[in-house]
Amino acid sequence: MNELMLLSIEKSVAGRGSNVIPAPETAAYALPDAFRRKDAPVLPQLAETDVDRHYTALAQRTYGVNCGFYPLGSCTMKYNPAVNEAAAKLPGFTGAHPLAPAHAVQGCHAVMDELAAALCEIAGMDAFTLQPAAGAQGEFFGMLCVKKYHEARGESHRVKMLVPDSAHGTNPASAAIAGFTVVSVPSRADGLVDTQALQALLDDTVAGMMMTNPNTLGLFEKDILAISRMVHKAGGLMYYDGANLNAILGQARPGDMGFDVTHFNLHKTFSTPHGGGGPGSGPVGVKQSLVPYLPTVASLGQPEGLQLKAFSGNFAVLVRALAYLKTLGKESLGDVAAHAVLNANYLMKRLTDAGFTPAIAAPCMHEFVLTLASLKESHGVSALDVAKTLIDYGIHPPTMYFPLIVHEALMFEPTETETRETLDHVADVMIRVLAQAKQNPDAMHTAPHHAVIGRPDDVKAARTPVLHW
């Protein structure tokens, strides 16, 4: 037992608790027995001080962007501005009921209208829905739009969705749950989509193609205009996964590259916090031809169309994103991408100079991928070992083993909000780790050594799941 890590229920003492809510001012209502549970649910009974300390301790065993460098590739862990949080907590917003009459929530409408207009301009799209709760839900909705579009044209036989082999797992999963058959498009040795292989896949069953640009190797798909033309010529639509939008924010627009539908991740590019896994927000932008399929809200009395969640979206996340855009304005927006790409290239250069091998030896966009395959071969040290060793240096590991097409991959995305000194420090740490890998590789197989736990037994966790107390 790790004494530090007692569960709240293990700290519970019968009879403890706080009286938060007063008794009813009328007699209690006698709900019939059929609607009464026999035994009260077993929840912790803790003094207020203990609850406070319990969660404070949990926070102390959690690593946020506020704690240090967080270079998770394709996750864009940039600084989450405090002013955005302040805006999201304004009582006028937090107290708004989603089904309040329209005149009572004009502020909410204004936030959504302003944000949607700004996203249209940033994306080069004609309309945006803010309803999707996350990037994957945006993808799902985008796929449904593509499906509706083909159905309306009497082309329901278009069932094939093309997805590059470097894509994030949500892409094929989203296409599949929208009813498409996923066809993988191979990448060339230079990490870009193999346009010849793509041409061979294009026939009259193609519904569209999903792309991330820059792709998950951090490379801009230079042939994007040709790819869009090819897919359009075959009758398909182009979907832009905005996971890597930070690389081109204000510099180039998906709509100008030939994309017909796109989602953005407000929790990546637009600085809203990740919250330990969510909430995010995945607004979807479309060209005019897809506008008829934008989501509706049944409870607001709109004629039923596609709907992804109750009400209008993760509104408080939208508030944060709008505050971010208001602060940056048009001048600073393009600087985001410039400095994100500058930071990534600078760190890649320092690591390459120090003896690490990039998966693709070319300038990168906002992120880059190292391959540790040769280190694994020569000294038995894996990408996992390096990642876990970084924890002992107080650095959050980069994304590991992704994209799948790179062996022993470590994917770094520093974002624009890191200083040159931080990047230099991280490079210096990586140099020490590389030296350690060559001199004392065994110690790295059991890293981290200074975290609250050592490496957990994942096999045991999966074979004999313990999922609650």
Partner 1 sequence: MEIKTDRQYSESHEWVLFENDTTATIGVTDFAQSELGDLVFVNLPQVGDTVTAGTPFADVESVKAVSDVYCPVSGTVSAVNEELLTAPQRINENAYDAWFIKVEKITDQKPLMDAEAYRTHTQA
Partner 2 sequence: MSHYHPHTQADTSAMLTALGLDDTDALFADIPQSVLRKAPLSLPDGLGQMETLAAMEALADQNIRYRLTLRGAGCYDHFIPPLVSQLAGKEEFVTAYTPYQAEISQGILQAIFEYQSLICALTGMDASNAGMYDGASAAAEAAVMCRERNRTVTLVSECAHPDTLAVMRTYAYGTGHEVRVVPANDGHADLAALQTMLTGDVASLYIQQPNFFGILEDVPALFAAAKANGVKCILGANPMTLALMPSGADVGADIVCGDVQPFGIPMAYGGPSAGYLAATAAMLRKLPGRIAGQTTDAQGRRAFVLTLQAREQHIRREKATSNICTNQAHCALTAAAYLTYLGARGLQAVAERCLAHAHAFAQMLCQIDGVTMRHQGEFFHEFVTDLPVAPHRVQAALEAEGILSGLPLAGGMLWCVTEKASLAQLQRAAALVKEACAQ
Please, which residue, 229 or 460, has the CB nearer to partner 1? 460
Regarding 426 and contact with partner 2 (CB under 8 A), the answer is no
Site string for partner 2, 47-76 (x = CB under 8 A): -x--xx-xxxxxxxxxxxxxx--x-x--x-
CA pair distance 469, 467, nearest whole angstrom:
7
Please, which residue, 24 or 154, has the CB nearer to partner 2? 24
Beta bridge partners of 400: 410
Burial annotation 233-255 (CB, 10 A radius, 16+ → b, else e): ebbbbbbbbbbbbbbbbbebbbb
Extract the tokens encoding 350: 């320092």
CA pair distance 424, 92, nearest whole angstrom:
44
Q: Count CB atoms within 10 A of the CB of residue 141.
A: 27
Site string for partner 2, 252-291 (x = CB under 8 A): xx--xx-------x-x---x-xxxxxxxxxx---------
Q: What values do phi and psi take at 341, rounded to 5?
A: -70, -40
* Least gap, CB of 461 to partner 1 (angstroms): 8
Please, which residue, 25 or 458, has the CB nearer to partner 1? 458
Please, which residue, 154 or 331, has the CB nearer to partner 2? 331
CA pair distance 85, 184, nearest whole angstrom:
40
Length of the chain: 469
* Least gap, CB of 147 to partner 2 (angstroms): 8
* Least gap, CB of 395 to partner 1 (angstroms): 22
Q: Which stretch binds partner 2 (CB under 8 A): 196-204, 368-376, 418-426, 436-444?
A: 418-426
* Least gap, CB of 152 to partner 1 (angstroms): 34
Site string for partner 2, 133-172 (x = CB under 8 A): xxxxx-xx--xx--x---------------x----xxx-x
Residue 123 binds which of partner 2, partner 1, none (CB < 5-8 A, kind-dependent): none
Regarding 460 and contact with partner 2 (CB under 8 A), the answer is yes
Extract the tokens encoding 189: 């040795």
Regarding 373 and contact with partner 2 (CB under 8 A), the answer is no
Regarding 126 and contact with partner 2 (CB under 8 A), the answer is no
Please, which residue, 292 or 377, has the CB nearer to partner 2? 292
* Least gap, CB of 169 to partner 1 (angstroms): 11
Please, which residue, 279 or 441, has the CB nearer to partner 2? 279
CA pair distance 218, 411, nearest whole angstrom:
9
Please check whether residue 9 is in contact with residue 44, taking contact to mean a CB–CB distance below 8 angstroms.
Answer: yes
Nearest to 394 by CA among 442, 448, 340, 456: 448
Regarding 333 and contact with partner 2 (CB under 8 A), the answer is yes
Residue 137 binds which of partner 1, partner 2, none (CB < 5-8 A, kind-dependent): partner 2
Residue 154 binds which of partner 2, partner 1, none (CB < 5-8 A, kind-dependent): none
* Least gap, CB of 71 to partner 1 (angstroms): 21
Q: Count CB atoms within 10 A of the CB of residue 79.
A: 14
- Hey, which residues between 8 and 37 contact partner 2 (CB under 8 A)? 8-9, 16-29, 31-32, 34-37
Please, which residue, 374 or 446, has the CB nearer to partner 2? 446
Extract the tokens encoding 300: 């607001």
* Least gap, CB of 426 to partner 2 (angstroms): 14
Token pair 């500058």: residue: 342
CA pair distance 202, 222, nearest whole angstrom:
19
Please, which residue, 236 or 393, has the CB nearer to partner 2? 393
How many CA atoms does the CB half-sphere of 364 hold within 13 Å? 33
Which residues does 380 contact at the CB level (< 8 Å), separation at least 6?
441, 445
AA letter at 215: N
Please check whether residue 74 is in contact with residue 367, taking contact to mean a CB–CB distance below 8 angstroms.
Answer: yes
Helix (H), strand (E) at residue 112: helix 106-123
Which residues does 302 contact at the CB level (< 8 Å), separation at least 6?
296
Please check whether residue 266 is in contact with residue 318, taking contact to mean a CB–CB distance below 8 angstroms.
Answer: yes
* Least gap, CB of 397 to partner 1 (angstroms): 15
Q: How many residues bind partner 2 (CB under 8 A)?
A: 207
Residue 401 binds which of partner 2, partner 1, none (CB < 5-8 A, kind-dependent): partner 1
CA pair distance 455, 446, nearest whole angstrom:
7
Regarding 222 and contact with partner 2 (CB under 8 A), the answer is yes
| Residues binding partner 1 (CB under 8 A) | 401, 458-459, 462-463
DSSP 210: E
Residue 48 binds which of partner 1, partner 2, none (CB < 5-8 A, kind-dependent): partner 2
- Hey, which residues between 376 and 415 contact partner 2 (CB under 8 A)? 387-388, 391, 396-397
CA pair distance 218, 205, nearest whole angstrom:
30
Please, which residue, 37 or 463, has the CB nearer to partner 1? 463
Q: Count CB atoms within 10 A of the CB of residue 3.
A: 5
* Least gap, CB of 401 to partner 1 (angstroms): 7
Please, which residue, 11 or 407, has the CB nearer to partner 2? 11
